[in-house]
Chains A and B, each alone.
Chain A
Amino acid sequence: MSKRSVVPFGPHHPVLPEPIHLDLVLEDEKVVEAIPSIGFVHRGLEKLVEKKDFNEMAFVAERTCGICSYMHGMSYCAAIEHIMNVEIPERAKYLRTVWCELSRLHSHLLWLGLLADGFGFESLFMQSWRLREKILDMSEASTGGRLISSVNKIGGQRKDVDNAMLRGFVEELDKMEPEIREMARTFLNDSAVRSRLDGVGVLSKEKAHELGAVGPFLRASGVPYDIRTTGYLAYGDIDFEPVTSDIGDSYARTVVRINELFQSIDIIRQVVAKIPEGDVAVPVKGFPNGEYMMRVEQPRGEALYYVKANGTKFLDRLRIRTPTFANIPPMLEMLKGCQLADVPMLILTIDPCISCTER
């Protein structure tokens, strides 16, 4: 047996914009174990509920993550709505679905860019971010913010989006689809890209399930688990299947995310075709009392919002389990046996979002 050595990775590493630290135990160039430490950017958002009005907290929840910001705000509001037994109008549900899918689109495009950057394909990185910019423009046109939407409120949405604008989005997405396909061709078929992705960081189906992986990371290992199939918001009326792949390596994760781009576009098309007319918010009176556990499928996987209210304007407890938090144990498993040079890219393949892990 060769000598073991420990190489520290992070918290500041060029490939990751956010701080996570791993102690990599190496045997020659091979990783045999990875020991994580997190907590470098902890913000204490969960504690803040004790001092912030539950309505204002919607804006704080949104800032849990800079990428899935819309879905965080939406899940928080939906959890409180469940506690207060508020049924939001159908149109609001459909609108929420559109915005959720727009977030997924821009998040996956962002990830594709980061992945390309991770293996050093700069121009591919710029192509994905160029496409992402169009999605952000749609967000800005409909919510007023590129990422932080601030349109969620308890009882519905602050803003309505008229049907003409929604149809405009669909037209824009129709135009984008061939461009995404063209970009995907390089991601999926190019020999240089495949040489970095194929067979690297394999996570078996059993391990993925056992260690509680979520999102595309789990689905790439062949488990068709997608919280959207539970039919929250308008997902119950929409026809879609979870995207999976059986291989479980980095390439499979790329395939799953790319196919989810097309799936999201398709969902938006269906939603816009079916969206009912009507109000987008109902007035809400009083304070919540009770508890609820809200599960949503974010771009990175399942997020869990646990809210406990006590009948005053301050909540008792807010617990947010973000997808990256759940994905860290399987990631450590996946790193075992890989080459040191592949570690940065492998960490990228789980689409880590450290700031939301730290809440």
Chain B
Amino acid sequence: MSYFSFVKTELKNLFSKPATRPYPQQPRKYAERTRGHIENNMDVCILCGLCSKKCPTGAITVDRTGKTWSISRFSCIQCGYCVESCPKKCLSMKQTYTQPDAEKKTDTFVKPEQPAPAAQPAKPAADAAKQA
């Protein structure tokens, strides 16, 4: 049995830097693998709906007619199962956490107009530019 066995630690604490960080002035450093939130690259997404079928919480809604892909930020548990199952690999897990909010928010991503018809006339123009 000993007495004052914590004094060494206490003294060390007095003269060392705090173990905590002044949040939010000094934001947190995320690890490379941190599962923060899901982003979708809508240029690549084909709205196949596989991700919404696989999602264990049903956080993803895919609307083919409206060409939108939406995710309920407050249902998503950041498991990454959708990222794994997407055939086009357009989903990605970003490191930053979603912001706190007063209401349950849904983020909607809209698929941009198909570039396919626009790409056709653009091609000869590019060729022409190359020849010039």
Is chain B found bound to chain A in the same assembly? yes
A residues near B, CB below 8 A?
52-53, 56, 59-60, 123-124, 127, 130, 133, 137, 140-145, 148, 150, 158-159, 182-183, 185-186, 189-191, 194
B60 → chain A, closest Cβ, in Å? Answer: 13
For B, the interface residue count at a CB cutoff of 8 angstroms equals: 24
Residue with the highest number of chain A CB atoms closer than 10 Å, among B8, B10, B80? B80
Q: Is the CB of B2 within 8 A of A150?
A: no
Task: Describe A's contact surface by its main secondary structure.
Answer: helix
Known: A60-B56, A150-B35, A194-B1. A144 touches B9 (CB 8 A): no
Stretch among B26-34, B67-75, B98-106, B117-125 lining the A interface: B26-34
Contacting pair B80 A158 (CB below 8 A): yes
Minimum CB distance partner of A133 in chain B:
B19
CB-defined contacts of B54 to chain A, threshold 8 Å: 56
Number of residue pairs across A and B with beta carbons under 8 Å? 64
Give Cα distance in the complex from A19 to B117, angstroms: 62
B33 contacts A182, CB within 8 Å? no
Residue of B nearest to A142 (CB): B33
Instruction: Take A189-B1, A190-B3, A191-B1 as given contacts and tell me if A159 and B9 are in contact as well, using a CB distance cutoff of 8 Å.
Output: no
- Shortest distance in angstroms between B23's beta carbon and chain A's nearest beta carbon? 13
The answer on a CB contact under 8 Å between A185 and B5 is yes
Residue of A nearest to B33 (CB): A144
**Which residues of B5-27 have CB atoms within 8 Å of chain A's CB atoms?**
5-6, 8-10, 13, 19
Q: Confirm or deny: B107 has a beta carbon within 8 angstroms of a beta carbon on chain A.
A: no
Contact among A59, A137, A191 for B56, CB-based, below 8 A = A59
Among B3, B10, B33, B34, residue most surrounded by chain A Cβ atoms (within 10 Å): B33
A59 x B2 contact (CB < 8 A): no
**Which listed residue, A56, A144, A191, touches B35 by the CB 8 Å rule?**
A144
| Structural contact, B5 and A186, CB atoms closer than 8 A | yes
A150 / chain B contacts, CB cutoff of 8 Å: 35, 78-80
Known: A144-B31, A190-B3. A123 touches B80 (CB 8 A): no
Rounded to whole angstroms, the CA-CA distance of A229 and B54 in the bound complex is 37
Please tell me if B39 contacts chain A, counting CB pairs below 8 Å. Answer: no
Check if B3 sits within 8 Å of A186, measured CB to CB: no
18 contacts between A and B (CB under 8 A): A56-B54, A56-B81, A59-B56, A59-B77, A123-B13, A124-B6, A127-B9, A133-B19, A144-B31, A144-B35, A150-B35, A150-B79, A159-B33, A182-B9, A183-B9, A185-B2, A190-B1, A190-B5
B residues within 8 A CB of A190? 1-3, 5-6
Residues of B within 8 A of A143 (CB): 33
B110 interface residue per 8 A CB criterion: no
Q: A-facing mask of B46-86, CB < 8 A → 1, else 0?
A: 00000000101000000000000000000001111100100
Tell me which residues across on chain A come within 8 A of B9, comparing CB atoms: 123, 127, 182-183, 186
Contacts of B1 in A (CB 8 A): 189-191, 194
Is B93 positioned at the interface, with any CB of A under 8 Å from its CB? yes
A145 to B97, CA, bound (A): 11
A140 adjacent to B81 (CB under 8 Å): no
Q: Are B6 and A59 in contact (CB-based, < 8 A)?
A: no
The minimal Cβ–Cβ distance linking B85 to chain A, given in whole angstroms, is 10
Which residue in B33, B77, B79 is a CB contact (below 8 Å) of A140?
B33
Q: Which 9 A-B pairs have the closest CB atoms?
A: A56-B56, A144-B33, A144-B35, A141-B31, A189-B2, A190-B5, A140-B31, A150-B79, A130-B19
B4 and chain A: residue at smallest CB distance: A190
A145-B78 contact in complex given A123-B10, A158-B84, A189-B5, C-beta closer than 8 Å: yes
User: Could you say which of B3, B19, B31, B77 has the most chain A C-beta atoms within 10 Å of its C-beta?
Assistant: B31
Closest Cβ of chain A: how far from B94's Cβ, in Å? Answer: 11
Q: Which residues of A contact B33 (CB under 8 A)?
A: 140-144, 159
Closest to A187 in B: B5
Whole-angstrom CA separation of A56 from B3 in the bound complex: 53
B34 touches A140 (CB 8 A): yes
A189 and chain B: residue at smallest CB distance: B2
Given known contacts A52-B56, A140-B33, A150-B35, A123 and B77 CB-to-CB distance under 8 angstroms: no
B81 surroundings in chain A (CB, below 8 A): 56, 59
A183 to B5, CA, bound (A): 9
